Amino acid sequence: MSDCDNSRGMNDSRYDGLFEPIQIGPVTARNRFYQVPHCNGLGHVFPKAEAAMRGIKAEGGWGVVSTQEVDIHPSTDVSPYIEGRLWDEKDMHRLALTVDAIHEHNSLAAIEITHNGHEATNRQSRLPLMAVSEMIPGANLDPVQAYKMTREDIANFRCWHRRAAIRARDIGFDIVYVYAAHSLSLLAHFLSRKFNNRTDEYGGSLENRVRLLREVLDDTHDAVGDRCGIALRLAVREFLGQDSLSEDEGRDVVEMLADLPDIWDVNISGWMHDSKSSRFSNEGDQESYIAFVKQITGKPVVGVGRFTSPETMVDQIRRGVLDMIGAARPSIADPFLPEKIRQGRLEDIRECIGCNICVSGDMTVSPIRCTQNPTMGEEYRKDWHPEQIAPKSSEDSILVIGAGPAGIEATMSLGKRGYRVVLAEASRHAGGRVVRESRLPGLSEWRRVVDYRLGQIQRMRNVEMYFESKLNKEQVLELADELKFQHILCATGSTWHAGGIGRTHRTPLDLDESVTSVTPDQIMDGQNISGSALVFDDDHYYMGGVIAEKLASCGCQVTLVTPEANVSAWTQNTLEQTFIEKRLHDLDVRLIEKHALISLRDQQAIIQHVVSQEQRTLLIHNLILVTAREPSQQLYFSLKDDPEAIQERGIHSVTRIGDCLAPSTIAAAVYAGHLYARNFDEPVNIDEVPYRREYTEI
């Protein structure tokens, strides 16, 4: 494997403060970069993949690398979600893989042990749920209730937590968490009046509600504090409606426990507030909630804020907001972020775009993926390293057609391997759908997908780029004569269907010409709309909602019709659905759920309830169809259909990837481009499973 060029750049003294060691109880972190716990869909089911992924973070310079939540007992079984498990000693060897991988690079390994109380599912263990109070859980709609923990249950929980801490120490972890954040853990539930209605010494006053947290902190210190740093992860502010932890209570808890933990890891709750997408938050957004913590405690403080800019990081430390820069998403998008800062290679940083596709992995019970970093989750099973790629193994060159996320990633990664690449793009600039979509409200950070890759490509002498070059078959063949390449990669993208074909209608909709019917592409290309507009969203990701937002912001009276029960339903997986719905509500967008558009005649749109089939008529001026997309595959097939012309020119392969093969997410397009580049010149046997599998039993 060849290292990428690391010689550019020099250590920049402005950032020295980020590389000062810091003590956390009995252990010392080598710098200020702290990969806070984050889920990843690997955990106890894919322990080798988990270990490889965390090891790469350590290699990339994160001084502390943490696991995701690790459940301590079968009564906190969160299946089918895949987290870590430390139920008994049989789970230790799997976690040891992660510790070893982190230690190999001299970073500290942290473990977030937890019990989820009523937020567990116990679908696998079939134990009844236990909770701070007797209650019906709100996290999922399972028809179950949780029983209230007795003093004996509390004693048992403390014992399990203590035992897990000792096992964690024996595995080799350097930092052991006490977890009271995200409203996910029993300890957070005890703190919160929302859930805690106990009348014993664990309920009522804040002092009582803090009791268990204090006891568990003491237990953990007592059990492992001589060898491990004790981290307290606390949501100092909850946005969970009535009776959730207020600003004042959060401050009081910090005051009560000020110097008990060895490090404070502070954030806000629930998860959708902590990991807000870039559509709804900016870098460093949590500062106003957590800044007070350092004024109270003498212990180090770590916090998050989707930090990707070294200036912001230094500023957080200089101004006394944080001692350590916490990151989940920025460490996923670029596991080598600290190393790049250390080496002064700021232009090589692959900045997180805040799309939360990484979160969707966990939500859909699948291994993690990342829009910016196609190697995320593939470190073990495909042996992919985010900063290393095999050098070329032939002198072949490649024509890449289309500079969207698929084409530009393929170009960059092939270029890094040393291949000669010719990139032809129809429009005046690179970026394809990314650039167009980044102009929609709230999506400007998505541009980073292109900015990073273009920046890399522009430094490569083996890549030629041609813009305003919309190629047809004849032009491709002419180019082949002129520029001599042996491979053609079509990454020509897709367009939104104009006829309403989608999930509801597998054939074109019955539409007359009485209204202007436009697609998201036309709106992104600047088509003006005025008057009333009906957005029919049969796609359910962000596009329908964001188009409605754009039109409403421009003064249109917008109605959004969706067959789903919620607008932008899939964005539940990116923690955005509630924010989207609220924003549309605030913009007076009329939301009609569980309805499908059936036909449109004489400006009358007929919509029908998806279950009752009852019909309603809406009078509209404009119709925006956000349904399915149509792959732009004409060029690919015209080339494939002329094998003689291809052969004559010494062209060995014509391939299509990304949206022009099967429209999907930007993450999928980037991944497709990367996969093509990795596999290039490698024999691919389609009868073989294309990755290493792991089995935890037999």
- Binding status of residue 658 toward ligand ADP by CB under 6 A: yes
Smallest distance, ligand ADP to C-beta of residue 664, A: 8
- Binding status of residue 358 toward ligand SF4 by CB under 6 A: yes
Strand spans (E) along 20-146: 22-24, 27-29, 33-35, 64-71, 84-85, 108-114, 130-131
Cis peptide before 80 (omega within 30 of 0): yes
Q: Is 93 a catalytic residue?
A: no
**Between 267 and 622, whose beta carbon lies closer to ligand SF4?**
267
Q: Is 39 a catalytic residue?
A: yes
Smallest distance, ligand SF4 to C-beta of residue 357, A: 4
Q: Is 510 a catalytic residue?
A: no
Q: Of these residues, 73, 182, 221, 674, which one is catalytic? A: 182
**SS3 per residue for 264-302:** EEEEEECHHHHCCCCCCCCCCCCHHHHCCHHHHCCCCEE
471 binds, among ligand SF4, ligand ADP, none (CB under 5 to 8 A by kind): ligand ADP
Smallest distance, ligand ADP to C-beta of residue 666, A: 6
Q: Of these residues, 15, 81, 179, 452, which one is catalytic? A: 179
- Binding status of residue 352 toward ligand SF4 by CB under 6 A: yes
d(CA 297, CA 338) in angstroms, rounded, equals 26
Q: Of these residues, 38, 39, 541, 542, which one is catalytic? A: 39
- Binding status of residue 354 toward ligand SF4 by CB under 6 A: yes
Tokens 């029908």 identify what position? 608
333 binds, among ligand SF4, ligand ADP, none (CB under 5 to 8 A by kind): ligand SF4
**Between 353 and 605, whose beta carbon lies closer to ligand SF4?**
353
* DSSP per-residue codes, 586-633: HTT-EEEESEEEEEEETTEEEEEETTT--EEEEE-SEEEEE--EEE--
d(CA 310, CA 452) in angstroms, rounded, equals 16
Residue from 40, 76, 356, 562 in contact with ligand SF4 (CB under 6 A): 356
Smallest distance, ligand ADP to C-beta of residue 12, A: 34
- Binding status of residue 424 toward ligand ADP by CB under 6 A: yes
Which residue, 63, 683, 664, is CA-closest to 371? Answer: 664
d(CA 670, CA 19) in angstroms, rounded, equals 32
**Between 60 and 563, whose beta carbon lies closer to ligand SF4?**
60
- Binding status of residue 493 toward ligand ADP by CB under 6 A: yes
d(CA 303, CA 323) in angstroms, rounded, equals 9
Each residue 613-652 as x (binds ligand ADP by CB under 6 A) or -, in order, gives: -------------------x--x-----------------
Q: Of these residues, 274, 451, 538, 539, which one is catalytic? A: 274
Two structure tokens written together for 106: 């001299």
- Binding status of residue 407 toward ligand ADP by CB under 6 A: yes
**Between 372 and 571, whose beta carbon lies closer to ligand SF4?**
372
Cis peptide before 84 (omega within 30 of 0): no
Two structure tokens written together for 251: 């401050």
d(CA 152, CA 618) in angstroms, rounded, equals 61
- Binding status of residue 192 toward ligand SF4 by CB under 6 A: no
d(CA 163, CA 177) in angstroms, rounded, equals 13
403 binds, among ligand ADP, ligand SF4, none (CB under 5 to 8 A by kind): ligand ADP
- Give phi and psi for 477, each to the nearest 5: -65, -40
- Binding status of residue 491 toward ligand ADP by CB under 6 A: yes
Residue from 29, 108, 268, 471 in contact with ligand ADP (CB under 6 A): 471
d(CA 599, CA 497) in angstroms, rounded, equals 16
CA within 13 Å, CB half, 680: 38
How many contiguous H segments (helices) and E segments (strands) does the chain have? 23, 31
Each residue 361-380 as x (binds ligand SF4 by CB under 6 A) or -, in order, gives: ---------xxx--------
Q: Are strands 557-562 and 64-71 parallel, antiparallel or unpaired?
A: unpaired
- Binding status of residue 329 toward ligand SF4 by CB under 6 A: yes
Q: Is 38 a catalytic residue?
A: no
Smallest distance, ligand SF4 to C-beta of residue 459, A: 22
Which residue ranges make up the site for ligand ADP (CB under 6 A)?
401-407, 424-427, 432-433, 469-471, 491-494, 632, 635, 658-660, 669
Active site residues: 39, 179, 182, 274
Which residue ranges make up the site for ligand SF4 (CB under 6 A)?
329, 332-333, 352-358, 370-372
